[in-house]
Chain A
Amino acid sequence: MPMRIKITSEIAGQVWKLLAQQGDELAADAPIVILESMKMEIPILAPTAGKIIELHVAEEDMVAEDQLICVIESQ
């Protein structure tokens, strides 16, 4: 059964780099976005291998704590 996993941001910040696109297959721990927060580059990683089926942010977007970043479908 494929599982859908919602990836949210644990911190507030700005999307500095988007490293994956909708439809991309990711390995576990692959970076999806890098947020800039408090002058640091904080990656958000895929918790498990899977495909990005929804992507909800673009570069330079401001992100709040707990905001949905993407949805991954894992096999």
Chain B
Amino acid sequence: MSWQDEIDEVNKRRTLAKQQGGAEAVAKHHEKGRQSIRERIDALVDSDSFDEIGQGAGVPEYDDDGNLSNFQPANFILGFGKLNGRKVIIGGEDFTVKGGSPNPAGLRKSVYTEQLALQYKLPLIRLHEGGGGSVGGTGQDKNRRPLGEPVFSTSRFLPLAQTLGAVPVATAALGPVAGLPAARLVASHFSVMTENAAVLIAGPQVVKRALGHDLTKEQLGGPQVHLKSGAIDNLASDEQDALQQIALFLSYVPDNVWSFPAHQPSADKIDRCEDELAHIVPRNRRQPFQMRKIIDMVVDQQADGGSSFFEMGRKFGPSLITGLARMNGHSVGVIGNDCMFYAGAMTASAAQKLRRFVDFCNSFHLPIVSFIDEPGFMIGPDSEMAGTIRHGTSAISAVLQSRVPWACVQVLKAFGVAAQAHFGPDAYVLSWPSAASGALPVEGGVAVAFAREIAAAEDPAARQKELEDMLAASQSPFPRAEGLSVHEIIDPRETRPKLIAWLENAQAAYRTQAPQPYLTTMRP
């Protein structure tokens, strides 16, 4: 007796599963300029490397003779794949079946995604496009009341949380993403959305009924909202760009927290010293400069001449720059102030961004290079209302509890309490000649602290200038170097070779201990 009939049934089911929501639904999806989840997975992973799990999961339909007549596949596709030769777990909703709103098998597969990544300790990629649950529930039989999960079951949100402390998680929103898929989307270390994506807790109709706002889903949760809200890190010009950003992000991080990031050979010169660094900071402190240019000149250049700096979260808390880069082929986390936004002051959102980034670097054993131009916490009523002092102090706590090596390059300002958020423990501190440190920048501080003396002077403006010049001299980096408050004052052109020499030593010391998960304590 052969099992051929059953084997034929297996093949039939496989064929039906690959039809997704049917030719019509897939064509409609393509018309919107979007790929199906199977096409997306194929576009991202190495060819023929996708090893699917649960292809047979779905809802069958039988004819009167008990033969399988149709099959609605689970609307979440999941499996192992290889990304540039490296194993990953990849999954995503199938929008062509019920708009990605989970059917029972789809829900189970989506929940299993995180468990699989945890079990195999592999990077996790989720490509999202789908709605959340419906008011009717996901039960197969609408005539019966939904039973729900048994009281002794583990919440599906626990593995979602656990992955962040175990493996790198990169996600994309490639269309409308609402409810549960939106929660999965943001439970990531790096997230990206396309121009035509929208991320929503609830869609326009629900919002209109509850609150009376008449908004499109793009107005509610398009890129202009969620890049600034910080829910999503980066914008992608199209789906291909989104997948490339995910691949790039993963290239900087190890497979899991029990591993160190891999070294990639660098073609860039260790002793490359860029002349522009010597004059990029204007002597007139009212004039801004481009911190990203400094970062690009210091970190590795790639073979194509581009910078290895990959920025994440540019629009959220924009006074602080965060991203990944390579120094002589080693992965590092990079932070820097952007004085184009409120002189680089720490806002509540910049503080949240910093805390999250520092925890991320600690989780994946990335040394941190900090480029400093910090005037202090953002001031004023909006800043007070945003709770900046608490978020800022939380960021400082995260920085000072850090265990990875830190190097700090004081480019210009380091003032007030917020300056502490840029110097990790046992940091290697380099100061540019342009550096200025103290409790308050002279520009704002002198007029307030010496108000009476200035007012009483014969020429108040001249007295203010005299006081400012005197105090500016005391904020110079030279006395700090004399007191060994910095390791070195350097010619800015030496920044790259100095940092690379430090990194070799610091990383060797750090790697004498086995990599471990990073657990943090309560913070302000």
Question: Interface residues, chain A, CB within 8 Å of chain B?
Answer: 10-12, 37-43
List A contacts of B411 (CB < 8 A).
none
The answer to whether residues A38 and B288 also contact, given A10-B318, A10-B341, A11-B342 and a CB cut-off of 8 A, is no
The residue that B443 contacts in the complex, of A11, A39, A41, with Cβ under 8 A, is: A39
CB closest chain-A residue, reference B228: A66
Q: Tell me the minimal C-beta distance from A75 to chain B in angstroms.
A: 22
Q: Tell me the minimal C-beta distance from B414 to chain A in angstroms.
A: 16
Q: Tell me the minimal C-beta distance from A7 to chain B in angstroms.
A: 15
Contact A38–B375 (Cβ < 8 Å): yes
Contact B375–A42 (Cβ < 8 Å): no
CB closest chain-B residue, reference A38: B343
List A contacts of B294 (CB < 8 A).
none
Q: List 9 A-B contacts (CB under 8 A).
A: A10-B318, A10-B341, A12-B382, A37-B342, A37-B343, A40-B339, A40-B343, A42-B288, A42-B340
Beyond the given pairs A40-B288, A43-B288, 8 more chain A to chain B contacts, judged by CB atoms under 8 angstroms and listed by A's residue number, are A11-B340, A11-B341, A12-B382, A39-B286, A39-B443, A39-B444, A40-B285, A40-B287
Q: How far is the CA of A43 from the CA of B288 in the complex (A)?
A: 9
Question: Interface residues, chain B, CB within 8 Å of chain A?
Answer: 285-288, 318, 339-343, 345, 375, 382, 441, 443-444
Among A10, A11, A38, A39, max chain B CB count under 10 A is at: A38
Q: How far is the CA of A31 from the CA of B390 in the complex (A)?
A: 37
Q: How far is the CA of A40 from the CA of B412 in the complex (A)?
A: 14
Q: Tell me the minimal C-beta distance from A22 to chain B in angstroms.
A: 25
Contact A40–B286 (Cβ < 8 Å): yes
CB closest chain-A residue, reference B379: A38
Q: Tell me the minimal C-beta distance from A32 to chain B in angstroms.
A: 15
Contact A41–B342 (Cβ < 8 Å): no
Q: How far is the CA of A38 from the CA of B344 in the complex (A)?
A: 9
Contact A41–B286 (Cβ < 8 Å): yes
Q: How far is the CA of A42 from the CA of B286 in the complex (A)?
A: 9
Q: How far is the CA of A42 from the CA of B289 in the complex (A)?
A: 10
List B contacts of A39 (CB < 8 A).
286, 343, 441, 443-444
Q: How far is the CA of A10 from the CA of B285 in the complex (A)?
A: 21
Among A39, A40, A42, A43, max chain B CB count under 10 A is at: A40
Closest 5 CB pairs of A and B: A38-B343, A39-B443, A38-B342, A40-B343, A41-B286
Q: Tell me the minimal C-beta distance from B384 to chain A in angstroms.
A: 14
Q: Tell me the minimal C-beta distance from B71 to chain A in angstroms.
A: 48
Q: How far is the CA of A72 from the CA of B263 in the complex (A)?
A: 47
Q: Tell me the minimal C-beta distance from B147 to chain A in angstroms.
A: 48
CB closest chain-B residue, reference A40: B343
Q: Tell me the minimal C-beta distance from B288 to chain A in angstroms.
A: 6
Q: How far is the CA of A37 from the CA of B318 in the complex (A)?
A: 15
Q: How far is the CA of A40 from the CA of B285 in the complex (A)?
A: 7
Q: Tell me the minimal C-beta distance from A10 to chain B in angstroms.
A: 7
Q: Tell me the minimal C-beta distance from A38 to chain B in angstroms.
A: 4
The residue that A41 contacts in the complex, of B288, B345, B382, with Cβ under 8 A, is: B288
List B contacts of A38 (CB < 8 A).
342-343, 345, 375
Q: How far is the CA of A42 from the CA of B375 in the complex (A)?
A: 15
CB closest chain-A residue, reference B287: A41
Q: How far is the CA of A39 from the CA of B382 in the complex (A)?
A: 17
List B contacts of A42 (CB < 8 A).
288, 340
Q: How far is the CA of A38 from the CA of B342 in the complex (A)?
A: 6
Q: Tell me the minimal C-beta distance from B197 to chain A in angstroms.
A: 21
Q: Tell me the minimal C-beta distance from A6 to chain B in angstroms.
A: 12
List B contacts of A12 (CB < 8 A).
382
List A contacts of B375 (CB < 8 A).
38
Q: Tell me the minimal C-beta distance from A69 to chain B in angstroms.
A: 15
CB closest chain-A residue, reference B315: A10
Q: How far is the CA of A38 from the CA of B377 in the complex (A)?
A: 11
CB closest chain-A residue, reference B376: A38
Q: How far is the CA of A43 from the CA of B375 in the complex (A)?
A: 19
List B contacts of A11 (CB < 8 A).
340-342
